[in-house]
Structure 1
Amino acid sequence: MDRDGTSHINEEKAHILVVTYPIQGHINPLLQFSKRLASKGPKVTLIIPSTTIRFPANASTSLISVAYIPDGHEEGEILSVDEELKQFRAVVSRTLGDFIQEQVESKFPPTVLVYDAVMVWALDIAREQGLHGAPFFTQSCVVNAIYHLVHHGLVKIPVLGPFSLIPSAPLLEVSELPSLVTNTELYPVLMSMVIGQFSNLKGAKWILVNTFFELEEQVAFYDFS
């Protein structure tokens, strides 16, 4: 504290950016992660790429800041899943970069970008701005492991029969597997996006997974290389 009573604690507070893919199953875990992270002391800004969706008025986000950036989607616009994914990447790559640049030049410049793992290209944007990058996998370790094996060519797709993930686990029936590995023609761009989550992990500073560890300990520690 200065002699005039002004404190510099807030000015020195770490600032962490968190960006989520804008669908509920991704927003919820990253929102909860952001609030838990903020409870430890740093300033946390949750970034939601969305032109039309906003948090309801009663949503509890008091611990964090929430920022919205354009995603290029116009209300009432009808696109196929693959068209929407392509447009999302093209627009958000730019708007996220612009937002991070604004924050870097602000009073509280960020040092880390935690990004939804399906937005794999966000790591390049973070590093271009001098930030560390950390992917956050919203799906369970089992699903991550399946996609990881597909990415490295260790499992042939489409999977047409019972699937053994690790020796000590029971066989998984086709109905229990992610639909993208059993029907590869369903959404080819989405398939490429989820498998691509593992393409640049070596460039990440940390890797974060949304899981209940005691339920997935064997998978979490299994060597899939």
Structure 2
Amino acid sequence: MEREQGPTLTHVVVLSFPIQGHINPMLQFSKRLASKGLKVTLLSTNSIVKSMEGQASSVTIEPIADDSGEYPTVETMEAYTERFKVMFSHSLEDLIERNKSIGYATKLVVYDSILPWALEVAKQHGVGGAPFITQSCTIAAIFYHLFQGRITLPLQVSEVSLPSLPLLRIDDMPSFISQPDLYPLLLRLCVDQFHNFHEVNWVFCSSFDKLEEEVVSWISSQWPIKNIGPTIPSMYLDKRLKDDKNYDLSLFKPNVDACMKWLDLKETGTVVYVSFGSLAALGVEQMEEVALGLKRSNKYFLWVVRETETKKLPTNFIEETTERGLVVTWCPQLEVLSHKAIGCFVTHCGWNSTLEALSLGVPLVAMPQWTDQTTNSKFVMDVWKIGIRVKVDDKGMVTREEIELCINEVMGEKREEMKRHAIKWKKLAIEALDEGGSSDKNIDEFVEKITHT
């Protein structure tokens, strides 16, 4: 149950990197903190704040001062983060003074872990800091090993053995490590996040203890990890947060009615849901293979193809598949995944999508593209056993035959086994955030500590 605001009047600032996959889990954590009696302010850019107007009433959403509205790209990341740092410093100082005048003490900045400079900025203003990891504990551990020098790049071995983790092939490793020359700046961001972890009292992670037990145990010996997930709206988990039905942020307009009305007409477990998230862009040839794989599977399918990607679809594909398929530019993913008609999810295995599928008991066909998705796919198939990872050919392509094969396995001969594992993880995800669960206790302990210091 939500607790009324306590007498401590404690204020926490939350700072995320301004992309949807980072804001959503941090906003969900903010809602949890607000439900425990803290005053929480999420700082973000003007463009993000405008898209969230009228949402997340339990959390104050404020724009960062002097924001140009520019959206960061891989190429502009370094310059953007430098300017973001200056803007944040001014906004934090203003926020602290304003809250002090109305009786709130700003105690802590919870910051996106890839923005480690936020800790120094917070300290300059007399406030503590705690990093928030938006990926899995496993990914954090792998990059921490690289930070510590236990992994040497470029990799000279075919398999990597690390404490508390299964044996990882090179193509199981995060792509920034397996292909370090492709995105050197992003690799540096992932490694540099750890340089001041020894100065903090809490490191929050968007996961839950039983999902990654061994690696959580190992990480706990290195820094003060606190899992607080799954970071998805309460309605789909413990249902204890009133009106918490969605993320309150979508940079794309979902086709809600079209999706849900179409799904309502389908029988239980008969639809393949396909989405590669808000960032991944498939090549024209790969898009054609996915399209023809779906066609060959002879299953109903709901495919999210962002507006910028629709031109890559094969000619007349939509017209030729109207009886079995629906292609939309965006959809309400949580509503879709929780619908009885969904039989499996063909996904890039971004961490948020993976957590959503785990939390809602949906088997996966894993088709990773880059960054942490390859490692998440390894765990989906070999550790959590809730899906199949596609195989790529010698050109790095996933063929139509492979897509058809994987869909038919997950929806056919392996269906019962994978559904059984998926339901197990769904129950454990709900248990983690329910009253007295591991994530709920971690949040309670943090709130108790922060309000009495």
Matched residue type, 1:119 = L
**Partner residue in 2 for 1:32:** 28
Give the unaligned 5+ runs of structure 2: 223-453
Q: Residue in 1 aligned with 2:217?
A: 221
Contact 1:141–1:216 (CA<8 Å) still a contact in 2? Answer: yes
**Matching residue of 1:44:** 40
Could you tell which deviates more after superposition, 137-146 or 153-162? 153-162
3-state secondary structure, aligned to 1:208: strand
**Pair 1:64–1:56, CA change in 2 (3 A):** same
Name the aligned partner's letter for residue 81 of structure 1.
Answer: V
Residues 5-42 of structure 1: CA deviation (Å, up to 9, x unaligned): xxxx7885111000001111111110110000110001
By how many angstroms is 1:60 displaced?
4.0
Is 1:20 the counterpart of 2:12? The answer is no
148, 160, 165: which one pairs with 1:163? 160
> 2-side partners of 1:74 and 1:26: how far apart?
17
Is the aligned partner of 1:62 residue 2:57?
A: yes
The answer to whether structure 1 residue 81 and structure 2 residue 78 are counterparts is no
Query: What corresponds to 1:4 in structure 2?
Result: none
Displacement of 1:73 after TM fit? 4.9
Q: How many residues align?
A: 211
Q: What is the aligned-residue RMSD (CA, Å)? A: 2.4
Q: CA deviation at 1:53?
A: 3.4
Larger helix percent: 2
Which stretch of the first structure deviates more once superposed, 211-220 or 171-180?
171-180
**Structure having the higher Rg:** 2
Any conservation in 2 of the 1:18–1:47 contact (CA below 8 Å)?
yes
TM-score (norm 1): 0.84
Where structure 1 has 5 or more consecutive residues not aligned to the other structure, the ranges are 1-8
Q: Is the 8 A contact 1:47 1:67 kept in 2?
A: yes
Aligned to 2:129: 133
Aligned position for 1:104: 96
Work out which of the residue numbers 135, 140, 145 in structure 2 matches 1:144. Answer: 140
Give the Cα–Cα distance (whole angstroms) in 2 for the partners of residues 161 and 58 of structure 1: 49
Q: Normalising by structure 2, report the TM-score.
A: 0.44
The AA in structure 2 aligned to 1:212 is F
- 1:72·1:88 contact (CA, 8 Å) conserved in 2? no
Query: What is the CA-CA distance between 1:71 and the residue it aligns to?
Result: 4.8
What one-letter code is carried by the residue in structure 1 that aligns with 2:167? Answer: L
Paired-residue identity, %: 34
- Give yes or no for contact 1:72–1:87 (8 Å, CA) kept in 2: no
